[in-house]
Amino acid sequence: MNLFQTIFTGSKQALAAAEGIVKQAVDEKGRDCKVAFPDTAYSLPTFYAATGKKVTTVAELEAALDVVRSLIVEEEMLDKALNAGLATAVAAELVEAAKYVLSDAPYAAPCAGFISDPIIRSLGVPLVTGDIPGVAVVLGECPDAETAAKVIKDYQSKGLLTFLVGKVIDQAVEANVKMGLELRVIPLGYDVTSVIHVVTVAIRAALIFGAIKPGNLADLLQYTSERVPAFVNAFGPLSELVVSAGAGAIALGFPVVTDQTVTEVPTLLLTQKDYDKVVKTSLEARKIKIKITEIPIPVAFAAAFEGERIRKND
Amino acid sequence: MSEKVLSIDKTTVQMLDKAKKDGVETAWDRKEILKASCGFGLAGVCCRNCTMGPCRVSPVPGKGAERGICGATADVIVSRNFARMVAAGAAAHADHGRSIVLELLHTSPDGAIKVKDEKKLKKVASRFGIETEGKDVYDIAHELAQAGLNDFGRQYGSITLPPTVPAKRKETWEKLGIVPRGFDREVVAIMHSTHVGCMADAEEMLRMSMRCALADGWLGSYMATELSDIMFGTPHSRPTEASLGVLEDNQVNIVLHGHEPSLSEMIVQAAEMPEMIELAKSQGADGINLCGMCCTANEATMRHGVKLAGNFMQQELAVITGAVEALVVDVQCIMPALAKLATNYHTKFITTSPKAHITGSTHIEMDEEKPLETAVGIVKEAIMNFKNRDKSKVVIPNVKTKAEVGYSTEEILNKLDGVVNSQIGPMQSAKPLADVIVAGVIRGAAGVVGCNNPKTVHDEGHLEVIKGLIKNDIIVVVTGCAAQAAAKAGLLTKEAKELCGPGLKKVCELVDIPPVLHMGSCVDISRILELVGTTANHLGVDISDLPVVGIAPEYMSEKAISIGTYVVSSGIDTWLGVVPPVTGGPAVVDFLTNKIEEWVGAKFFVEPDPHKTVEQIVERINEKRKKIGI
């Protein structure tokens, strides 16, 4: 299957998944049931930023599916493929919102799920000053826990903020990677759709710090691609859904680096099979330059360890 | 009778008005005077290959005369005429290539022509099996020239094909028996077989044409380009300006027209000499303004940014501005009408090549032993002619357009390096281009080439096709007069990305290039072959598998026929915007537009409507993409 068809297929799968869970929400909670993510003034941030409309009830959630449908135009041109990627992002947000409708606490430790506004505001300053030089989204599954830890710790030691999605969370736990907001490693969730919770970080950054007007999609995409230094590392076999979500990342201006053989697109979608080079490849792809003052000490040293707690057993 | 639109180029229309006022005629007037063309010639069914004729047979099968006196059928006559067009076109490029090879043979460290690009010299030498380690640069150059000359006159075996020919393509040619032997031999073979009482099988005649054309593309033109780069430098991107408005009001305007870069290179050198500029000033001019037309312009602009005055149909118009001190020409596509036209103005029409004398011109023959001295003499002639300019007769159109030129294959690879992740690599590879094509970000690539032809609205075919293609995310490379049409229209700028589809626009932004890349002169179509071959090799496929096409929207010359034939034979579908003289031979038409695809995986399309051309190309490119699953 060619790349564009893979993206369209993934987007249609995302749409179908969203339709399924929204129907479940309608059936179980009724159309008048409230819809909201915790601690945010931006409703469903992706949907709000793209359309300027807030989703407050399940009925509106159901209606929002039309936006996803309208974004999937199966014509093999780049803009259509990127739109299909955005459709997947919106569909993922609808799925995640429905999870919060169906359950009061859909996420449990170590997974963070939705990231609240206060956290994003707290990240704003270090992002602007370059104290956080980049945002890494690591999703999927590495060949082993050791490799996963190596990559994540490398980002951590460089001060990047790293979000984890999928089995890589378990691998990080297995390899004793210390996680938490203060350590700049945040596990989001095991479903692919939970990646939307980092997308909304970028989107809310544009709304909060970039003062982008909700509904102005073009400005939003420009802001994220120019000002939010994020990128994606997708490890392990890639489903159509993941590729389609990747197209959404590319639409936001975030390059995708994978260890899989894919149809590469220079600077945007890259294959790097050498795990020792994944970090360098990613930083170069996102043009992230890190000022390094190396201090020869036997432990990792970085701002990311500032909030670390030393437990009794350590 | 309503006035027919002759050109979509504003300066052209303005100058045609002036021509009328000045009472001088142009090619468009002569076309009018000739009235309707002969239907037999148009269909290719007229033969003059012996004195039993001329014979003309009916272009409609089963009606009227079906055979010439010797018994040749319409298909045989058409195929022979077609073959002779190919031979003539190939011969023009062969002789161009030969001069270049001979120049390389005569390079010396203290001569006017030196080796400028040693890296390329070594690369080309090694593909001819010449040892370069520890050898003197000029020894390598002379050895390479000898090897090249051998291939031109080879009597046995076959020519040295560049490594850019994919293995599968070579096999196809071997199976068909169309790997060229010596270049000159293939031209002679056609002249032989088209003689009365020789070849009388249309398909076999066309097979010979393909072999001859391949010698043009992959040897004659290929070497002309490579060796020009070796001596005069490999082009890199640089800015220039285009349109008749590049002529300067108070400077000595010298227009270079023709084909071979050696003349233009020498004149560029001469015109930059401080003493020449002083001389110009002493004559009351502000300086010397060099401009080019046709392929000499392309050569000089690719390497020096010399301004592009115009393309083929505008050569007379440059003189009509009244502001050209000297129109300096060498060979090919020089309208002999210029000699008479120049007498109406102060313009000196200077011929320089023993291969192209024109009655009524000032002939200053290029002395191959002292090329720079000859050039200085020519520049002096021009300067001393400045005082003869009749200012009351001068009208320079107030239009010029910025353009970016200089996209050799090497420069394209350099630009592509800019988007390669250094942790992944490799550098200096066609991978990024192959990647975006495979991904579908750009749908394919098109070479828009060829001439001008008064049968079509001047420049319209070029521009409509190019604009249509880039809008559909098909990247366009241009050479020859098509390139100048694009330059004048502002398509050779980075800003032209706004006319592109979303994918091509993105690629232009990432790579920092215009969507239409000027790759040079007509022999530089070999650069396109090189780029396509390199991409095919990178992907491990044949050229005919790639979503690439060639288009000659306004072609006119026999060179264009040879080019079209080698492009198709190389596996690239080719669109012709002007109907070639083959319509009287049904078997020939069927072969060229249908059956040839079984042989080489590509065929000719004839479509005078540029918009339909674009639709057909998009459809065909999508078919090809589907076939290889991208």
CB contact under 8 A, B473 and A77: yes
B625 vs A: CB within 8 A: yes
**A149-153, A307-311, B57-61, B126-130: lowest mean pLDDT where?**
A307-311
CB contact under 8 A, B438 and A280: no
pLDDT at residue B452 is higher than 90: yes
| Structure tokens given for A20 | 């399924």
- φ/ψ of B187, rounded to 5, equals -70, -45
A277 vs B: CB within 8 A: yes
How, if at all, do strands B238-242 and B55-56 pair?
unpaired
Report whether A193 contacts A92 (CB < 8 A).
yes
**What is the pLDDT, as a whole number, of residue A294?**
64
**What is the pLDDT, as a whole number, of residue B148?**
94
Report whether B314 contacts B293 (CB < 8 A).
yes
B461 vs A: CB within 8 A: no
Question: What is the Cα A303 distance to its own chain's centre?
Answer: 22
Quote the longest CA-to-CA distance of chain A.
Answer: 61
Q: Is the bond into B61 cis (omega within 30 degrees of 0)?
A: no
Residue B161: strand, helix, or coil:
coil
Question: Which of chain B's residues have a Cβ under 8 Å away from the Cβ of A263?
Answer: 435, 438-439, 630
Question: Which strand ranges, in their side-by-side order, compose the sheet holding A135-140?
Answer: A185-189, A161-165, A135-140, A230-235, A256-258, A269-271
Residues 6+ apart with CB under 8 A from B154: B181, B182, B183, B185
B510 vs A: CB within 8 A: yes
pLDDT digits (tens, 9 = 90+) for B11-34: 999 999 999 999 999 999 999 999
**Residue A276: closest CA among chain B residues belongs to which residue?**
B423
Kind and range of the H or E element at B120? helix B118-127
Question: What is the Cα A60 distance to its own chain's centre?
Answer: 24
Percent of chain B's residues with pLDDT above 90 = 97
B502 vs A: CB within 8 A: yes
| Structure tokens given for B174 | 């071997």
A208 vs B: CB within 8 A: no
Angle at A63 between CA A61 and CA A66, to 5 degrees: 120
pTM above 0.90, yes or no: yes
What is the distance between the alpha carbons of residues B375 and B361, in angstroms, rounded to a whole number?
17
**What is the pLDDT, as a whole number, of residue A293?**
64
Question: Residue B480, Cβ neighbours under 10 Å: how many?
Answer: 34
pLDDT at residue B505 is higher than 70: yes
**What is the pLDDT, as a whole number, of residue A35?**
96
CB contact under 8 A, B435 and A265: yes
pLDDT digits (tens, 9 = 90+) for A72-84: 999 999 999 999 9
What is the distance between the alpha carbons of residues B455 and B578, in angstroms, rounded to a whole number?
8
The one-character DSSP state at B54 is -
Residues 6+ apart with CB under 8 A from A46: A89, A90, A93, A196, A199, A200, A203
What is the distance between the alpha carbons of residues A155 and B523, in angstroms, rounded to a whole number?
52
Residue B113: C-alpha distances to residues B107, B232, B380, B398, B406 (Å)? 5, 8, 21, 37, 21
Mean pLDDT of all residues in chain B? 96
CB contact under 8 A, A281 and B423: yes
State the sign of the Cα–Cα–Cα–Cα dihedral B586, B587, B590, B591. Answer: negative
**What is the pLDDT, as a whole number, of residue A292?**
62
- CA B509 to chain A, closest CA, distance in angstroms equals 12
Report whether B566 contacts B196 (CB < 8 A).
no
Question: Which of chain B's residues have a Cβ under 8 Å away from the Cβ of A1?
Answer: 629
pLDDT at residue B480 is higher than 50: yes
What is the distance between the alpha carbons of residues B273 and B232, in angstroms, rounded to a whole number?
18
Question: Which of chain A's residues have a Cβ under 8 Å away from the Cβ of B502?
Answer: 77-79, 82
Q: Who among B421, B423, B629 is closest to A2 (CB)?
A: B629
Average the pLDDT over A234-261 and give the result. Answer: 97
**A124-128, B181-185, B219-223, B292-296: lowest mean pLDDT where?**
A124-128
**Residue A272: closest CA among chain B residues belongs to which residue?**
B424
Residue B341: C-alpha distances to residues B333, B361, B437 (Å)? 16, 11, 48
Question: Residue A36, Cβ neighbours under 10 Å: how many?
Answer: 16
| Structure tokens given for B256 | 């270079």
B426 vs A: CB within 8 A: no
Report whether A151 contacts A142 (CB < 8 A).
yes
pLDDT at residue A254 is higher than 60: yes
Report whether B402 contacts B389 (CB < 8 A).
no
Question: What is the Cα A313 distance to its own chain's centre?
Answer: 33
CB contact under 8 A, A79 and B625: no
Average the pLDDT over B497-501 and give the result. Answer: 98
pLDDT at residue B627 is higher than 50: yes
- Count Cβ–Cβ pairs < 8 Å, chain A vs chain B: 68
A81 vs B: CB within 8 A: yes
State the sign of the Cα–Cα–Cα–Cα dihedral B434, B438, B441, B444. Answer: positive
Question: Which strand ranges, in their side-by-side order, compose the sheet holding B573-576?
Answer: B516-520, B474-479, B444-448, B548-552, B573-576, B604-606
pLDDT digits (tens, 9 = 90+) for B384-437: 999 999 999 999 999 999 999 999 999 999 999 999 999 998 999 999 999 999
Kind and range of the H or E element at B232? helix B221-232
CB contact under 8 A, A272 and B423: yes
pLDDT at residue B194 is higher than 80: yes
| Structure tokens given for B457 | 């609205």
Question: Which of chain B's residues have a Cβ under 8 Å away from the Cβ of A269?
Answer: 439
pLDDT digits (tens, 9 = 90+) for B256-315: 999 999 999 999 999 999 999 999 999 999 999 999 999 999 999 999 999 999 999 999
Report whether A172 contacts A188 (CB < 8 A).
no
- CA B523 to chain A, closest CA, distance in angstroms equals 31
pLDDT at residue A253 is higher than 60: yes
What is the distance between the alpha carbons of residues B276 and B325, in angstroms, rounded to a whole number?
14
Report whether A135 contacts A160 (CB < 8 A).
yes
**A162-166, A235-239, A303-307: lowest mean pLDDT where?**
A303-307
Helices (H) and strands (E) in chain B, counts: 26, 16
Residue among B421, B438, B505 with most chain A CBs within 10 A, to mutate:
B421
Percent of chain A's residues with pLDDT above 90 = 87
Report whether A51 contacts A129 (CB < 8 A).
no
Average the pLDDT over B325-337 and give the result. Answer: 97
Question: Which of chain A's residues have a Cβ under 8 Å away from the Cβ of B416?
Answer: 266
State the sign of the Cα–Cα–Cα–Cα dihedral A257, A260, A266, A268. Answer: negative
CB contact under 8 A, A264 and B506: no
Question: Does the ipTM exceed 0.85?
Answer: yes
pLDDT at residue B1 is higher than 60: no
Q: Who among B420, B423, B502 is closest to A77 (CB)?
A: B502
* Strand intervals (E) in A74-149: 135-140
**Residue A273: closest CA among chain B residues belongs to which residue?**
B424
CB contact under 8 A, A78 and B423: no
What is the distance between the alpha carbons of residues B336 and B355, in angstroms, rounded to a whole number?
13
pLDDT at residue B2 is higher than 70: no
